[in-house]
Amino acid sequence: MTSFFNKKSSKVPFLFLILLYSFLANGQDFQWARQIGDRGTDESTAIEVDQEGNSYVIGEFDSNSFDLNPTTTGSQIINNSFSQYSQISDIYLIKQNENGDFLWGKTFGDIKRDQYAYEIKIGNDGNIYLFLRIMYSITNSTFDSFTTIVKLAPNGNELSRIKIKNPDGFFTNGFDIDNQNNFIISGWFTNSKQIDFNNTSVNFQSNQLASFILKLDNTGNFLWQKTFEYPSLATSEIHAKSNGNIIAIQNGVEEGHLLIRILNIDSQNGSVVWEKKLTDQSATTFQLDRLQNIVIAGKNIYQGTADVDPSNNTVSVTSQNYILWLNSNGSFLDVKEYNVREYQDELDMNKIQSDVHNNIYVVGRFSGKIDADPSPNEFFIENPRGRTQYGDGFLIKFDSNRNFDNAFSLESDYRLVIKDLKVQNENIYLMGDFNSNCDLDPSIEVAPFSSLNGGIVLSTDGFIVKLGPCNSSKVVGLTNQSFCSDLNPTVSSISPNSSSVLWYDSAISTTPLSNTTLLSDNKKYYAARKNGNCPESTERLEITAHISSSPKEPMLLSPEFCLSENAKLSEINILGQNIKWYTNLTDLSSIPITTLLQNATTYYVSQTVNGCESGRSPIPVIVHNTAPPTTTSPQTFCIQQNTTLSTIVISGQNIKWYDALTNGNILPNTTALQNGITYYASQTINSCESKRIPILINIVNTTVPIGISPQTFCSSQNPTLATIIISGTAIRWYDNAINGNFLPSSTPLKDGITYYASQTENSCESPNRLALKIQLINTLPASNYEELLCDDLNDGKETVDLTAYNSNLISNTAGYLFAYYNTLSGAEKESAVNKIINTSKFSLNLGANIIYVRINSNTPCYAIAVLKLSVVAKPLILIPDIVPICENNTITINAGSATESFLWSTGATTPSITVANPGEYAVTVTKNYGTISCSSSKRFSVKKSTIATITSIKTLDWTDKNNVITVYVSGAGDFEYSIDGTHYQDSNEFQNLNSGAYTVFVRDKNGCGIVTDKVYLLMYPKFFTPNGDGYNDTWSIHFSDTEIGLTVQLFDRYGKLITVLNQNQTWDGTFNGLELPSTDYWFIVTRADGKEYKGHFTLKR
């Protein structure tokens, strides 16, 4: 590296040193540099810097072992040596603070293959947004590529990840965020592409190469897409304007010429606001400055004359490279040309940025010797190794008036390129890649770095350089500064304290004090400013240090509070000044005095006197949390108890009662309890009242039991109170409605006596009693019953449940057993042979059905009742579902005899109606049986039936006995078919017929008429004998005379046409009057419809 760094020696041209010193003295000062990479190709892609000066760098790496920490003081190794792929590809993000200290790093590869980092942005919400292309594993053996937007918090936590599938032929290459943190993406595609299956409106349609701009909201919802089907056109870069609109630069080909297309896109819908073109040129990058002017780095492709004014005016450039300024409307402002002087000299402009003063910075790569000043003046930057295709990095600065300000280069002995930059807080952050050895300090000082591993392997590494502004002004600070003795103040305690401030013990001392030097009371100290390589300030700040004694910690006994008081720190009584509270001994921040106190928690308190804070005293706090009283809820009482709050069962001390869970009114213990009301109780211990608990009160007013009065019993059964049928719980019997004597359930019943019953529920006896009068008899009070039933299905039977009639036989069925018999004697004798078993589905026959029901009680008393169930027939309606009516005719429809009543859907009430029109009809027929009427209903359709119309007859003939006739008809009837007028069939096709003449009959099944037609099945003779004997002397097609338009062509065996016959002609075997020999002859029969039949026959002599 010795020869490489000779650029720092006296061999460097004196003019260059003067210019470079001028740049540093007036502009930037080298702060720090960091190298990113290991043994592979580890490249940096983009950089972003937040308001605090923290830098974020993304890039790609393929090293097996990659250190995310670019500093020399630590490491965070990513080990990819176990990857299943020989060629690793991964993405990194590194965050450093303003001093270049490593804060955190992350990687984003899924399968660590084919991963690309495109761009990084910081949104208005302070979050970081990465624009990546990541290959994701779909299954164990399949992968898919997705354009991925990763959203991170400043602490590195991933907040969201939006994935857009990259189908084949779909590429993204531009990304920005607007002022509402919406995403703008540009790219190009071939043919149609489906990227969102749920929103087809954003899918891309094209038959060729096309470019696109796509807008998504911050959660990934597609808002709109715009496609551009210009030939061979791709969107290279996009930027969101401050008003929300979008500027896009597209490089492409139109009518055989390269061009730059500049578009202003409406951010609301993607429409083009305006469009500008620059022909025979291409753009490498562009940026919007602080005034929203468009600054473009362009190339004159053909090295001739190019017009860089997109209006009708002409502004010509002849150099290969230029920087073009257009205003926010796309109108020409200015252009700066860069002419590469030698054939091998190169200049590539990679990025453009502006600062808060609207100065413009351009970075990139150059080779050879380049004049960085586009004015008539000269400012050369030169690669000391001469021309090379790899080159070095450069930065060129223009002031806000677009005048050249200065420039410098970063050099390598092989290759170095500056790919991106950011200007923040007057600092410049540069980012790029290099190979071999390089110097990242643009001044005459050296900041050496190397990507050589062991001095042999040449790898690619990324780098970050921070350049800060030179400031030689006097340090500003308080001239009198106070310190507390307990803190043992040192020089590092003096304000300001930073790496750019040096402290001395005299105004003329040249030896700075160490930060650990202890301060002395009332001593003076002096500060000077020293930024990196910038000169130290000549004027020094003088301060006097005053050290005061620190006060003692405040003291207090452990305070106690009730939980219900919601006590805060402010309620602790403590002696001291300017009290501060902390959660522990070391916390830097105090807690507010409104902090709620927690039980068994120690708080720490200090006091501050004369600006000095004391040590912290521990204050343990006790917060009594009195448990609520214990009880059960709900609690139940009887209405006759007349209970109060004092009656409620509850365990606790100093019980208080309330009518609400919080606040509310306190209630005296004498308060009468009410049904369904919730009361609230607390207890008080150590003067701390507990929270309240709810107790629901139920006041039971038990109702009387349920029973029927009077009740009849057989005297022979010796009934007691227990025999009475009654419904209730814990029944108690009395001889009077009020008071009276309690009667045991074994008390015998007496005829005509009324007994009184109560019931007890939830331990509460009903205050009222049920009166039941008793009747004693010698038999059961049963009676006969008869009923008529309609035969619903008119099938001569009906099924009933015999038990359903029990209540018709005896009024109170409770306590009785019912048995059903076919005969009276069987009921008397309880004969099993005559007993009906299936009583729930007993089948009744048409007519009277007599059932004998034996009713047994739990006494010797029983009764036999006759149950007569008569089944009567419902009217039978013999109308078919479909009733045909002939066209132009009427029909009479009869529903039954005149002994029944009728109701037709037409409104008629007669047994029959006359119908002339087809349609849907209904009739209900009712027969009255005295105590019951039975009805039947019928819905039917009257449909028109007509004489058939034969539309066509199709034949398959030319056989002796396998011919077919198919008849086609039209009409509304139901038809059948015949060829002899006697035997009819449903099918319209007749098969296996001999050739000959037939008559076809079509008959309406409803009797509306018959139609006929003639049909002939043609055939031909297989031979004929024209010998003049009068028999079989001519040949013709059988029945041909019946078919108009039929012709027959006859040919000999050589295909010669002999004659043509019409439908009525025959052939006699001659040709031109001469007899033809015996042999086979061929024919073609052509029918009127064009169909042909071919065959042959034999002439015999």
User: Model confidence over 590-626: pLDDT tens digits?
Assistant: 899 999 999 999 999 999 988 888 889 999 999 999 9
Q: How confident is the prediction for the chain on average, in pLDDT?
A: 87
User: In this structure, what DSSP letter does residue 815 have?
Assistant: T
Q: What is the pLDDT of residue 139?
A: 79
Classify strands 294-300 and 306-307 as parallel, antiparallel or unpaired. Answer: unpaired
pLDDT digits (tens, 9 = 90+) for 58-85: 999 887 778 888 887 777 777 766 555 5
3-state secondary structure of 1048: strand
CA distance 883 to 892: 10
- Where is pLDDT greater, at 1002 or 450? 1002
Identify the burial level of 1037 via C-beta atoms within 10 angstroms of its C-beta, where 0-12 means exposed, 13-18 middle and 19 or more buried: buried
pLDDT digits (tens, 9 = 90+) for 1038-1084: 888 888 888 999 999 888 999 999 988 999 999 988 889 999 999 99
CA distance 813 to 780: 11
Domain membership of residue 389 (yes or no) is no
**Rounded mean pLDDT, 783-810:** 94
Domain membership of residue 1094 (yes or no) is no
Same domain, 502 and 519: yes
Res 4 pLDDT > 50? no
CA distance 887 to 336: 101
In 549-703, beta strands by DSSP E: 560-562, 580-582, 601-606, 608-609, 612-613, 617-624, 630-631, 635-638, 650-651, 656-658, 666-667, 678-682, 684-685, 688-689, 693-700
Which phi and psi angles does 721 have, rounded to 5°?
-55, -30
Same domain, 670 and 649: yes
- Furthest CA-CA distance within the chain: 167
CA distance 541 to 532: 19
pLDDT digits (tens, 9 = 90+) for 268-288: 999 999 999 999 999 999 999
Same domain, 969 and 1013: yes
pLDDT digits (tens, 9 = 90+) for 332-359: 999 999 987 655 578 999 999 999 999 9
Which phi and psi angles does 15 have, rounded to 5°?
-60, -40
Q: What is the pLDDT of residue 199?
A: 66
Same domain, 676 and 756: no
**Total domains in the fold of the chain:** 7
Q: What residues pair up with 36 in beta bridges, in sequence order? A: 462
Label residue 925 by pLDDT band (50, 70, 90).
very high
Q: What is the pLDDT of residue 202?
A: 66
Vertex 85 angle, CA 80 and 90, to 5°: 50
Q: What is the pLDDT of residue 326?
A: 97
Q: What is the pLDDT of residue 58?
A: 96
516 sits in which H/E element: none
Domain membership of residue 683 (yes or no) is yes
Same domain, 570 and 636: no
Same domain, 749 and 679: no
CATH number of residue 1000's parent domain = 2.60.40.10
Q: What is the pLDDT of residue 11?
A: 26
Q: What is the pLDDT of residue 454?
A: 56
Domain membership of residue 351 (yes or no) is no
CB atoms within 10 A of CB 359: 19
For residues 415 and 436, the answer to whether their CB atoms sit within 8 Å is: yes
Q: Which domain holds residue 1005?
A: 949-1017
253 sits in which H/E element: strand 246-254
Domain membership of residue 733 (yes or no) is yes
- Where is pLDDT greater, at 386 or 899? 899
Label residue 576 by pLDDT band (50, 70, 90).
confident
Same domain, 937 and 985: no
Same domain, 789 and 861: yes
Give percent above pLDDT 90 in the chain: 55
Res 505 pLDDT > 90? yes
Same domain, 926 and 964: no
| Residue of 959, 950, 1021 whose CA lies nearest to 993 | 959
Q: Which of 574, 602, 624 is the last residue of a domain?
A: 624
Domain membership of residue 102 (yes or no) is no
Same domain, 859 and 792: yes
Query: For the chain, how far is it from start to end, CA to CA, in angstroms?
Result: 126
Q: Which two tokens stand for residue 301?
A: 């492709």
Buried b (16+ CB within 10 A) or exposed e, 860-873: ebbbbbbbebbbbb
The answer for 112, left when phi > 0, alpha when psi is -120 to 50, beta otherwise, is left
Domain membership of residue 433 (yes or no) is no
Label residue 640 by pLDDT band (50, 70, 90).
confident
CATH number of residue 837's parent domain = 2.60.40
**Rounded mean pLDDT, 634-663:** 93
Lowest mean pLDDT among 143-147, 423-427, 667-671, 694-698: 143-147
Q: Which of 548, 569, 592 is the last residue of a domain?
A: 548
Vertex 831 angle, CA 830 and 835, to 5°: 90
Domain membership of residue 250 (yes or no) is no
Q: Which of 873, 895, 929 is the last residue of a domain?
A: 873
For residues 580 and 606, the answer to whether their CB atoms sit within 8 Å is: yes
Same domain, 763 and 790: no
Same domain, 795 and 766: no
Res 764 pLDDT > 70? yes
Q: Which two tokens stand for residue 1032?
A: 């079989």
